[in-house]
Structure 1
Amino acid sequence: MKREPLLSARGLQAGYGASQILFGIDLDIEPGQIVTLMGRNGMGKSTTIKTLIGALGLRNGDIRFAGQSTAKLRADAIARMGMAIVPEGRQCFPNLTVREHLVAFADNRNGQSDAWTLDRICELFPRLAERAQNMGNQLSGGEQQMLAIGRALSTNPRLLILDEATEGLAPVIRDEIWRCLNLLKAAGQTILVVDKYVEKLIELADHHFILERGQVVWQGSSAELDGDRGLWARYLGV
């Protein structure tokens, strides 16, 4: 039976200045689902995410998160409702230590008893425990990515959003990130992922949305995406 979506977007239109980027995006994410946004560069994936988290205002449409419209809410209010992002480029604070990153934003926004504590995050990423007193700008790219994920988890979000979480990482670090995401899936975390590694996303995710020029041109299950490699060439450049 289909559950009530945790997040539901209808008719999203958004852009920058005179340029419109999104032309009526519809998507649903159910509790416990892992959903992807896919498409070539410049097709509206990051703009969709910015719109969902309130960093970019809607020109038209509506977003409902946990049963409430967020279309007119500020980004900080949406975050407090339980939406957390691992942003493209990591955006770790250079003047905060690893430990400070992981405690400064700590909260329990999903209200579950099995919360992501500092100790539990360090169990997930032992390297963060080893680097606890290092500043954000003293970490490698892979360590910063682990820190960005840990920082988002420290809020215990209802919805975790990852924008290009494996971009620019060495293969061994990418594997570590995929391992982490599979553990989060097993724990029932609801996740929205933007990434380019289609085969990994098919293994991980429940449902996929493909964007082309600011519109959803295809959506379906991992089995359906795996079975139609023509979609890969047509829309993903694979």
Structure 2
Amino acid sequence: MTDLLTVDAIDTFYGRSQVLFGMSLNIKAGEVVTLMGRNGMGKTTTIRSIMGLTPAARGHIRFRDAEIRGLPSYRVAKVGVGLVPEGRQIFPNLSVKENLIATAANRNGSAQPWTYERVIALFPRLAERAGNMGSQLSGGEQQMLAVGRALMTNPHLLILDEATEGLAPLIRLEIWHCLEQLKQAGQSILVVDKNIGALTKLANRHFVIEKGRVVWQGSSADLQAAPDIQHRYLGI
């Protein structure tokens, strides 16, 4: 099966400080893949490099067989990469409904695209808060809104950076349930999170990074069978 996304040996810098060193990963259509590692090891920088927010200086990033390294972030979004960023970054002065429809597009050409009605059916809590401003929502509601906003672009690939960070346990369960539903529907997903138990249940494959490099990759069964990897690189 052809890769949907291929990140091939990218080097990324902040000024003169190099953060990624030959970073590589791949995602096939319909897969859920995780990027794991301790804080400060390059997970968010990898996502920012894919999205064109912090452009990679070297290497290749191919999406649906086209080179996207060097494209501005709005063009990366237009080719079908949807981002749920760390910190959510919803529009605080727009209502829930306005947040959802502001960037709506059918970028994957789906015959059954994500619509406002489908998103609030996925997240009934948002239906109850449809007229509220983004700034009036709880952290969990904001995260649901951020996921829904990304889905409204109908992306080929959905990326979540720190999917459940800082959320109450019940809200985390709702987010994981949502991602499981998306997986069952065939949505390709790249997710960053610290909840290894949830990630190993959800994901097909995992990439563990240390100091801007992949140090281990494998299936959920492989990761569960490697407590030394979990302890050494994930602090478990």
Please tell me the TM-score bracket, short chain as reference. over 0.9
Corresponding position of 1:156? 154
5+ unaligned residues in a row in structure 2: which ranges?
A: none
Corresponding position of 1:77? 75
Task: Give 3-state SS (helix, strand or coil) of 1:6's partner.
Answer: strand
Shift in Å at residue 114 of structure 1?
A: 1.6
- CA distance in 2 between partners of 1:200 and 1:230 (Å): 19
Corresponding position of 1:167? 165
Corresponding position of 1:91? 89
Corresponding position of 2:7? 9
Q: Which string of whole-angstrom CA distances, capped at 9 and with x for unpartnered residues, describes residues 204-224 of structure 1?
A: 000000000000000001110
Shift in Å at residue 165 of structure 1?
A: 1.2
After TM superposition, the structure 1 = structure 2 runs for residues 1-238 of structure 1, keeping only pairs within 5 Å, are: 3-238=1-236
Shift in Å at residue 11 of structure 1?
A: 0.8
- CA distance in 2 between partners of 1:52 and 1:219 (Å): 19
Shift in Å at residue 77 of structure 1?
A: 0.4
What TM-score, normalized by structure 2, do the two folds share? 0.99
Shift in Å at residue 57 of structure 1?
A: 1.1
Q: Which string of whole-angstrom CA distances, capped at 9 and with x for unpartnered residues, describes residues 25-72 of structure 1?
A: 111100000000000000000000000011011111010001110012
| Percentage identity across paired residues of the two chains | 58
- CA distance in 2 between partners of 1:57 and 1:89 (Å): 20
- CA distance in 1 between partners of 2:110 and 2:225 (Å): 37
Shift in Å at residue 175 of structure 1?
A: 0.4
- CA distance in 1 between partners of 2:229 and 2:148 (Å): 33
- CA distance in 1 between partners of 2:163 and 2:199 (Å): 12
User: How well do the aligned residues superpose, as a CA RMSD in angstroms?
Assistant: 0.6
What TM-score, normalized by structure 1, do the two folds share? 0.98
Task: Give yes or no for contact 1:164–1:193 (8 Å, CA) kept in 2.
Answer: yes
Task: Give yes or no for contact 1:15–1:47 (8 Å, CA) kept in 2.
Answer: no
- CA distance in 1 between partners of 2:124 and 2:8 (Å): 40
Q: Which string of whole-angstrom CA distances, capped at 9 and with x for unpartnered residues, describes residues 132-155 of structure 1?
A: 110000000000000000000000
- CA distance in 2 between partners of 1:161 and 1:57 (Å): 17
Task: Give 3-state SS (helix, strand or coil) of 1:96's partner.
Answer: coil
- CA distance in 1 between partners of 2:146 and 2:11 (Å): 28
Q: Which string of whole-angstrom CA distances, capped at 9 and with x for unpartnered residues, describes residues 106-146 of structure 1?
A: 11111111211110000000111111110000000000000
- CA distance in 2 between partners of 1:185 and 1:72 (Å): 29
Shift in Å at residue 229 of structure 1?
A: 1.0
Task: Give yes or no for contact 1:35–1:191 (8 Å, CA) kept in 2.
Answer: yes
- CA distance in 1 between partners of 2:229 and 2:118 (Å): 39
- CA distance in 2 between partners of 1:62 and 1:127 (Å): 40
Task: Give yes or no for contact 1:107–1:155 (8 Å, CA) kept in 2.
Answer: yes
Counterpart of 1:69, as a letter, is E
